[in-house]
Structure 1
Amino acid sequence: MDFEYSEKVDRLRAQLSDFMRFHVEPVNIDWHRETAAGRYPLALIERLKSRAFSEDLWNLFLPGLGDDDPGQRLSNLEYAPLAEIMGRIHWASEVFNCNAPDTGNMELLQLAATPEQRRRWLEPLLIGEIRSCFAMSEPDAASSDARNIRTTITRDGDDYVINGRKWFITGAAHPNCKLAIVMGLTGEHLDPSSTERHSMLLVPMDTSGLSVVRDIPIMHHHSPEGHCELLFRNVRVSVANLLGEEGKGFRLAQDRLGPGRVHHCMRTIGQCEVALELMCERALERKTFGKYLADYANIQDWIAESRLEIDQARLLVMKAAHRMDREGNAAARVDVSAIKLVAARLQTRIVDRAMQVFGAMGLTPDTPLAYLWTWGRAMRFLDGPDEVHLRVVARAELARARGQAGRNACQFVPPAPLLG
């Protein structure tokens, strides 16, 4: 595997870094001030989106574009270092139309939408005209196993009728969120272990019977686009709103998550780089007991371990992206579980060290550290809890061991008997 950046990626990295430095970072304080005052969406975001579009820093995440669609047509491996740069400021991805959950939704629509669905929903998403959400998780089911989902989708003539409750639906509070991709149960008669029981529907957010019950703060960390609870009470949409085939929703959900986890993990690595930079700056300027913090061996250890862990995680994510590009999303399933585990744990660990170096200030809004720590902790649930991903990795390792049973016997040579 060769992870040297191509000339194109090097050029985009430099261009994106300059854009972040000269256009995004200077308005970061304004973004926080405006959203804290309850003003969202922001005019500054729209101005930045227009500039990014004009500079062709747009839809960087999406490899499969049509001839007339805006974007760079990058592979997962090419996009990964760009996601890291965007991730340094948590809200910046929207500027480049690379924000979740729209990224995954655009991938789904590219994969399974009809021509009419593409015209109505995909094309506006590709130009950043609208936002969307993905309604899968439920309060009454362990959604780490999507087969548990209980929201019902019932056929009634030329319509489907949806009843159920969803929560932690990112983006649903955004005023420009016009579409919910809803996953629900269409095959109640099938065996509960079947992966053919669920389907996806495209539901306009203004459909009668669909209501946003509340926006749920995560560990007192509030995102202006929302992590919402949605209620579906006899929500009726046309059968033409079915995404893909009936009973194929579980498979579509699996296809959606692979690239998105690469995006999440590389953004996390960008945030860990920020935390390490802040830790080093604080250690070099702060004195205790007559010495700079940087002179203490334990602080030096934290800094060195953080650098090693970030670089290790980055290489693991690049390996997963490389496999997805070469062999497909399904072949990289174990790799994707591995990076999801490593990245979420990395963020809480490194940000925790940085908070400790900052002392009490690390707990306040005077630095981004407390915010980044809460998001890292949330990532240990988002896109599947740690335990599910550990299980995926362990099962793959055990399957490999079963396939090699007995091959390692030569490694266990009994010692020669003592003579005499």
Structure 2
Amino acid sequence: MAIDLTVNTAIRTLRRRTAEFIRDAVVPAELAMLAGPGTPDDALRIRLQQQARTAGVFAPTVPRDLGGLGLDLRGQSVVLEEAGYSLLGPLAMNCAAPDEGNMHLLEMIASQPQRERYLEPLAVGAIRSCFAMTEPPPGAGSDPGQLATTARRSGQGWLIEGRKWFATGADGAAFAIVMARTGGNVGAPEATMFLIPADTPGFRLTRHVPALDSAFVGGHGEIELTDCHLGDDAVLGRAGKGFTYAQVRLAPARLTHCMRWIGLARRAHTIALAYVHGRTAFGNRLGELGMAQQLIADNEIDLAASRALIREAAWLVDTGGSGRHETSIAKTFVAEAVGRIVDRSVQLCGASGISGDLPLSAYLREVRAFRIYDGPSETHRWSIAKRALRHHASTTPTES
């Protein structure tokens, strides 16, 4: 089957509207935020989301029956890149992590009562959510087999005990999707996802984890679950299927992360191009010097390669493929390429690049974490290599 990466007229129009909205409404809000508090709050989110509705670019990843634009992943790859041109763009358009991934998961798995209680208000931006899987050592991190939070049957429901951290957006979230071990042992667990309202007794946000990245509402939360009782209606999907459902969320979420961050990398590159076009050194414009041109060219190459990997993986998932291998490759490459692009842009801008006069130093802090969350590069490389070896073994005749 031929890969079709054609961008149709409707998506081109939406891309243009999105670019105009980001330029006119969101970039000024981002620059004001970076010059002031440094982090967004719910008041800013609500204001920008209302502006996105007015501009007709709100909720591009949300299905049409929930009030969104209902784009497939190929369409999202175009529009979310434009949204990502500002740190606040995805937040404004209600396609930021973790809500975007949670909405996809709920759309695929949730019961009708759960959709009405959690998904519908999340889709319109009335509430926020968080996803609580990662745990402090020795619990689950890059190895989900170390899942330590437990859920056991208690009366007519469940008793949850454990600790989570780096639950992005936890402060102020209306609910959390919590992964807990419901069978097996640490190392080989059976897991279940639970929908837990933030006001549930025994569910407690204990602190904000200090971190390099901060351009999101609600911080990175550490959560304690102590004597936390839930009914059966809190189970998302079926008990014991948590790791299966995690894959439903992870493959598209890896791609949407890539889409958003490549937009910010393009913004950093654009800032650097403007700087070297106007700055002079050694009798020439900086952009005419060979070493500067190498950095510019390498940025262009990384942007083009990242975009191609994202769109091919999006096409595969849209046409029914699992995409686990392809999204893993895209996530690894793009996470590292984005870091390279922003770092080169800082270098091209010299002292201005590390100052607060340009937003590049903030971008450098924000993109660094992408090489760790949604699977660190090393874990993805391990998985990619294992799949390649299995494929080779299954398709190559055994030699005598």
Give the Cα–Cα distance (whole angstroms) in 2 for the partners of residues 365 and 396 of structure 1. Answer: 44
2:362 alignment counterpart: 371
Contact 2:347 2:353 in 1 (8 A): yes
Correspondence 1:147 to 2:149 = no
Contact 2:145 2:186 in 1 (8 A): no
Correspondence 1:302 to 2:295 = yes
Quote the offset at 1:380 in angstroms. Answer: 0.8
Give the Cα–Cα distance (whole angstroms) in 2 for the partners of residues 123 and 46 of structure 1. Answer: 16
Quote the offset at 1:22 in angstroms. Answer: 2.0
Give 1:4's match in structure 2, choosing from 3, 6, 29.
6
Quote the offset at 1:106 in angstroms. Answer: 1.1
Give 1:275's match in structure 2, choosing from 264, 268, 277.
268
Give the Cα–Cα distance (whole angstroms) in 2 for the partners of residues 360 and 207 of structure 1. Answer: 49
Quote the offset at 1:191 in angstroms. Answer: 8.4
Quote the offset at 1:206 in angstroms. Answer: 1.1
Quote the offset at 1:7 in angstroms. Answer: 1.2
Amino acid at match of 2:37: T
Question: Which deviates more, 276-285 or 378-387?
Answer: 276-285
Distance 1:118 1:39, change over 3 A: closer
2:385 alignment counterpart: 394
Distance 1:76 1:101, change over 3 A: same
Amino acid at match of 2:21: F
Give 1:120's match in structure 2, choosing from 117, 120, 130.
117
Contact 1:221 1:371 in 2 (8 A): no
2:278 alignment counterpart: 285
Distance 1:402 1:365, change over 3 A: same
1:340 alignment counterpart: 331
Distance 1:39 1:348, change over 3 A: closer
1:207 alignment counterpart: 200
Quote the offset at 1:234 in angstroms. Answer: 1.1
Question: Which deviates more, 250-259 or 280-289?
Answer: 280-289
Contact 1:209 1:235 in 2 (8 A): yes
Amino acid at match of 1:164: G
Quote the offset at 1:222 in angstroms. Answer: 6.2
Give the Cα–Cα distance (whole angstroms) in 1 for the partners of residues 154 and 147 of structure 2. Answer: 21
Distance 1:221 1:178, change over 3 A: closer
2:42 alignment counterpart: 41
Contact 1:179 1:205 in 2 (8 A): yes
Give 2:21's match in structure 1, choosing from 19, 22, 46.
19
SS in 2 for 1:214: strand
Quote the offset at 1:360 in angstroms. Answer: 2.5
Matches within 5 A, 1:62-211: 62=62, 64-66=63-65, 69-140=66-137, 141-173=139-171, 175=172, 177-188=173-184, 192-193=187-188, 197-211=190-204
Contact 2:135 2:165 in 1 (8 A): yes
Amino acid at match of 2:102: N
Quote the offset at 1:224 in angstroms. Answer: 4.1
Give the Cα–Cα distance (whole angstroms) in 2 for the partners of residues 278 and 357 of structure 1. Answer: 10
Percent of aligned pairs with the same amino acid = 34
SS in 2 for 1:219: coil
Quote the offset at 1:378 in angstroms. Answer: 0.7
Contact 1:56 1:71 in 2 (8 A): no
Task: Give CA deviations for 1:190-217 in whole Å, capped at 9, x if unaligned.
Answer: 68435xx100111111111222111123
1:327 alignment counterpart: 320
SS in 1 for 2:369: helix
Give the Cα–Cα distance (whole angstroms) in 1 for the partners of residues 214 and 238 of structure 2. Answer: 38
Give the Cα–Cα distance (whole angstroms) in 2 for the partners of residues 185 and 81 of structure 1. Answer: 38
Contact 2:102 2:129 in 1 (8 A): yes
Task: Give CA deviations for 1:128-157 in whole Å, capped at 9, x if unaligned.
Answer: 100000000001224222222110111101
Distance 1:224 1:110, change over 3 A: closer
Contact 1:166 1:230 in 2 (8 A): yes
SS in 1 for 2:56: coil
SS in 1 for 2:175: strand
SS in 1 for 2:107: helix
Contact 2:262 2:338 in 1 (8 A): yes
Contact 1:320 1:336 in 2 (8 A): yes
Contact 1:183 1:201 in 2 (8 A): yes
The answer for unaligned runs of 5 or more in structure 2 is none
Amino acid at match of 1:209: G
Contact 2:33 2:40 in 1 (8 A): no
Contact 1:87 1:268 in 2 (8 A): yes
1:358 alignment counterpart: 349
Correspondence 1:28 to 2:20 = no
Quote the offset at 1:219 in angstroms. Answer: 2.4
Give the Cα–Cα distance (whole angstroms) in 1 for the partners of residues 239 and 177 of structure 2. Answer: 14
Give the Cα–Cα distance (whole angstroms) in 2 for the partners of residues 97 and 224 of structure 1. Answer: 12
SS in 1 for 2:42: coil
Matches within 5 A, 1:223-262: 223-262=216-255
Task: Give CA deviations for 1:68-87 in whole Å, capped at 9, x if unaligned.
Answer: x2012211011111010010
1:416 alignment counterpart: none
1:412 alignment counterpart: none
1:418 alignment counterpart: none
Amino acid at match of 1:359: G
Quote the offset at 1:27 in angstroms. Answer: 2.4
Amino acid at match of 2:23: R
Task: Give CA deviations for 1:146-174 in whole Å, capped at 9, x if unaligned.
Answer: 2221101111012211111111110112x
Give the Cα–Cα distance (whole angstroms) in 2 for the partners of residues 45 and 167 of structure 1. Answer: 23
Distance 1:113 1:283, change over 3 A: same
Which of the pair has more CA radius of gyration? Answer: 1
